[in-house]
Amino acid sequence: MTAADADAPAFSASCRLAGAAATDAFARALAPRLGAGDTLLLGGPIGAGKTAFARALIEARGVAEDVPSPTFTLVQTYHAEGLEIWHCDLYRVTRPDDVLELGLDEAFDDALCLVEWPDRLGDLAPADALRLDFALVGGDPDARELTASGPARWSWVGTLMAEGPAHG
């Protein structure tokens, strides 16, 4: 096995999210299968739909309160029927130490963590996280291309994408 093979994700799948409703549907389908210790790294440019996805997922876990973007607070936490959920936007984070000060390293073990701008984590990103990259699609302002990748334990996400609540 070469070094490049070792770095390649064991699982990778893509699908088209035709509109915001499809992104919501995918988040709702994923939500019941996630738990404490799971981390989702939400990649993609400004306006790609990272917060829209996180909001739908958090609401699907029974959180009735508002789910604002953590743009300024960096972290919003929720208690959802025994599960702690951390929703983070690390855009403004410049040093890995800031991540430690937020307590994210412990949250990775104890909570379900949804992390926007995960490149800011550097080496602190959990190795067993699921990565979801949202890409804008030229010519269609409502469409997104979603690529999911990660270790083999997440391969069921590819099945979910192929089955298609995300195609709506």
Ligand X SMILES: Nc1ncnc2c1ncn2[C@@H]1O[C@H](COP(=O)(O)OP(=O)(O)OP(=O)(O)O)[C@@H](O)[C@H]1O
Contacts with Mg ion by CB under 5 A lie at 50-51, 69, 116
Scanning 43-51, 80-88, 97-105, 148-156 for contacts with ligand X by CB under 6 A, the matching segment is 43-51
Residue with Cβ nearer ligand X (82 or 138) = 138
CA distances from 135 to 43, 58, 150 (A): 8, 21, 17
Choice from 101, 110, 142, 163 touching ligand X (CB under 6 A): 142
Beta bridge partners of 116: 42, 89
Q: Is 133 helix (H, G, I), strand (E, B) or coil?
A: strand
Please state, in angstroms and rounded to a whole number, the distance separating the CA atoms of residues 109 and 118: 16
Burial class (CB in 10 A: 0-12, 13-18, 19+), 20: middle
Site string for ligand X, 85-124 (x = CB under 6 A): ----x--------------------------x--------
Choice from 1, 4, 6, 46 touching ligand X (CB under 6 A): 46
Nearest partner of 47 among 113, 112, 144, 156, judged by Cα: 144
Tokens at residue 84, please? 């702690």
Q: Is 156 helix (H, G, I), strand (E, B) or coil?
A: helix
Scanning 28-36, 48-56, 58-66, 80-88 for contacts with ligand X by CB under 6 A, the matching segment is 48-56
Smallest gap, in angstroms, from Cβ of residue 7 to ligand X?
Answer: 25
What is the contact surface with ligand X in residues (CB under 6 A)? 17, 19-20, 22-23, 44, 46-52, 69, 89, 116, 142-144
